[in-house]
Amino acid sequence: MAVKTTRRRRIRHLPDLVYELHKVPVRKRGRRGRILFALVVACICRYTSPSFDLLRDGRVGRIIPRLLREACRKVCVNWAEMRSKALAEPLFQSSPDTLPVYIITLNDSRFTRSARLIQQLMQQHIPYDFFFAVDGLLPFDKDDILNFAGPRRKKLLLKHYDSTKEIIDPATKHTRLQFGCYLTHVKLWRKLVQDPYGYVVVMEDDIFVVSNFTSRLHAVMQTLPRDWDLLYLNGTDPKIGLPIRKGLHQLRGTLGTFAYVISKSGAIKLLASSARGTDKPIDHMIDGAILSGQVMAYIPSPTLAGHQSYLNSTLAYF
């Protein structure tokens, strides 16, 4: 009986074991370690069916953590139990007259990149405000670096930190742009916490919305459980789960933050924990929070927004 208990414990902690194992240099793993490592990776590949997108950037070191994350998404989370809790909650009450919409854009490109989106919103008589993005090519506030950057980012950004310097070291450009995108969403969440609104609609400037957007969004929000945190209007490779109600599905994770609705409780949860001290991009951080059960996320079916893929991002990548 003791042997069986030990075996179960080992299997339960296998993801942790492999995660620690993959950080050990190959030459130090030993023959048994290398065999175990290969077998576990093979099993993960068998049950997660990874796409070749993981190999696009050529950084093999990223593959194992991503495969482990996808394996954990399938076997480590009790999604059915989370769905049952959502169904047991009272429905969220939203007003179609209150729809705070923010368009994230850089100050110098607000009328060019967002032209299509602004035209759609004006045609549908949807009021909106611009929320100017943090430009990663300008100096950051040091407190923002200390509060929200992870160890790797913090080391790089503080090493080259100069609050008055306008010419940025090219070696830090990608990290700075990515962190600027990260801080933009974080600052918008902080604004939501201080404002009287219970939620805000977040749109990046390179998206489009469906016709009758307000009424369709209101109809979806009426089906949300009372204690929802995030409603993605669309996503990049969304992991769509079980249906909650007609037109609304559980969301088990996604990348991309180009169109979503966040509640005040969701913003508070992310700002208090997951958003602090991380080296992850903003969408990976939120995906991790969904996977850990820290925030409850949902997605409408059909989706209510899309991404203008022909426009290059000015916030994180060129």
Q: Please check whether residues 117 and 231 belong to one and the same domain.
A: yes
- Cβ atoms of 83 and 92 within 8 Å: the answer is no
The domain that contains 168 carries what CATH number? 3.90.550.10
Bridge pairing between strands 199-204 and 259-263: antiparallel
Which pLDDT value is given to residue 314? 60
CA atoms of 228 and 65, how far apart (whole Å): 28
| 88 in a structural domain | no
Burial 162-196 (b: 16+ CB within 10 A, else e): eeeeeebeeebeebbbbbbbbbbbbbbbeebeeee
Which of 116-120, 128-132, 267-271, 308-312 shows the lowest per-residue confidence on average (mean pLDDT)? 308-312
Q: How many domains does the chain have?
A: 2
The pLDDT confidence band at residue 34, using thresholds 50, 70 and 90, is low
| 197 in a structural domain | yes
CA atoms of 10 and 262, how far apart (whole Å): 38
Q: Please check whether residues 170 and 262 belong to one and the same domain.
A: yes
| 315 in a structural domain | no
Which pLDDT value is given to residue 15? 44
The pLDDT confidence band at residue 68, using thresholds 50, 70 and 90, is confident
The pLDDT confidence band at residue 307, using thresholds 50, 70 and 90, is confident
CA atoms of 179 and 172, how far apart (whole Å): 10
Per-residue pLDDT for 60 more than 70? no
Which pLDDT value is given to residue 109? 67
pTM above 0.75, yes or no: yes
CA atoms of 308 and 145, how far apart (whole Å): 31
Which pLDDT value is given to residue 38? 61
| 203 in a structural domain | yes
Q: What is the CA radius of gyration of the chain?
A: 21
Q: CB-side exposure of 183: number of CA atoms within 13 Å?
A: 27
- Cβ atoms of 137 and 177 within 8 Å: the answer is yes
Q: How far is CA 36 from CA 17, 22, 24, 51, 255, in A?
A: 10, 11, 13, 23, 30
Task: Provide mean pLDDT across the span 159-182.
Answer: 76
Task: Provide mean pLDDT across the span 188-215.
Answer: 96
| 317 in a structural domain | no
Q: Which residue range forms the structural domain that includes residue 269?
A: 101-307
| 105 in a structural domain | yes
CA atoms of 190 and 276, how far apart (whole Å): 13
Q: Please check whether residues 196 and 280 belong to one and the same domain.
A: yes
3-state secondary structure of 84: helix
3-state secondary structure of 275: coil
Which of 58-62, 192-196, 250-254, 294-298 shows the lowest per-residue confidence on average (mean pLDDT)? 58-62
Q: Please check whether residues 113 and 65 belong to one and the same domain.
A: no
Q: Please check whether residues 136 and 199 belong to one and the same domain.
A: yes
Neighbours of 29 (CB within 10 A): 15
Q: Please check whether residues 138 and 274 belong to one and the same domain.
A: yes
Q: Which residues pair with 297 in a beta bridge?
A: 230
**pLDDT above 90 as % of the chain:** 56
